[in-house]
Amino acid sequence: MNKILVATEKPFAPAAIAQIKEIVEKEGYQLSLLEKYSSSDELKAAVADAHALIVRSDKVTADVVDAAKELKIVVRAGAGYDNLDLEACSAKGIVAMNTPGQNSNAVAELAFGMMVYQARNHFNGTAGTELRGKKLGIHAYGNVGVYVAQIAKGFGMEVYAFDPFVPADKIKADGVTPLNTVEELYSSCQYVSLHIPANEKTKKSINAQLLGKMPKDAVLVNTARKEVIDEESLVQFMEKRADFAYISDIAPDNKSVFEEKFDGRYFFTPKKMGAQTAEANINAGVAAANQIVKFFKNGDETFRVNK
């Protein structure tokens, strides 16, 4: 009997677990749950006899892969798979997948929640500003970027996007203005919302040089990954630009510097919250479970991310 382990340090909503259980048990598989665990040893012990693994941002390191003696497939219920050691998976013939698009709306909504919070001075009772009429730059026009554009138009923002991998015509068809360079995006827009993945090319790529192009009262919105920010460079930049704010779904490593120096100019969620809605949990969790079923039944490898 296939054992499917759902290992989530940050648990799914109960409704998502109920649906995953139904899918898995209908196939005669066994569902096992490891939630809110605090050490990778717990994950290693739980995964030892699992045939399939569903995770969120949980770190599936080479050690974890090594401990997983029966594992055939790991599905990251979400978009970014920078938490999976793909080489280690490939070396052991384990298929790694993600579930692209399933939690994108939740992430996009959080970006606006944070933008409004910042524009209204953290709801402190003083006069803030509005989003209507402001320019928003979407840095990477993927699944989340598309939802961000839709919501931004509802707010009456002027929407721009930079994404070298998406044809300009597709961006234009959404009523968004495509820009040719990243520099143009940052110099045109008061708000920039980041939707780039964290990889060797993008890590620490957002720095003072780029942010320095942004107009007055600029706000950088990060619902992507903290790793894409050059944190040292950001701090140096914010020391010079007192009008600049950084709002991020998850705190930077140097959070204490922000607390000490940049009162009112930052907001950080305590835990990554973008995809933390019942709807996103259900979408991503159910997609992960269905992908596992299709893989075991038909060898379906749609959404595979390793070679």
Interaction site with ligand 3PG (CB under 6 A): 10, 56-57, 78-80, 103, 272, 274-276
Nearer to ligand 3PG, 197 or 212 (CB): 197
Compute the least distance from the CB of residue 80 to ligand 3PG, in Å.
3
Nearer to ligand 3PG, 49 or 253 (CB): 253
Nearer to ligand 3PG, 218 or 224 (CB): 224
Residue nearest to ligand 3PG (CB): 78
Cα 18 to Cα 153: distance, rounded to the nearest angstrom = 35
Task: Give 73-119 as a DSSP string.
Answer: EEEESSS--TTB-HHHHHHTT-EEEE-TTTTHHHHHHHHHHHHHHHH
Compute the least distance from the CB of residue 278 to ligand 3PG, in Å.
13
Nearer to ligand 3PG, 43 or 157 (CB): 43
Compute the least distance from the CB of residue 275 to ligand 3PG, in Å.
4
Torsion of CA 299, 304, 110, 171, to 10 degrees: -110
Compute the least distance from the CB of residue 305 to ligand 3PG, in Å.
12
Compute the least distance from the CB of residue 22 to ligand 3PG, in Å.
21
Strand partners, 73: 52, 95
Nearer to ligand 3PG, 177 or 269 (CB): 269
Torsion of CA 174, 192, 105, 288, to 10 degrees: 110
Cα angle for residues 80, 156, 105 (degrees, 5° grid): 25
Cα 126 to Cα 274: distance, rounded to the nearest angstrom = 27
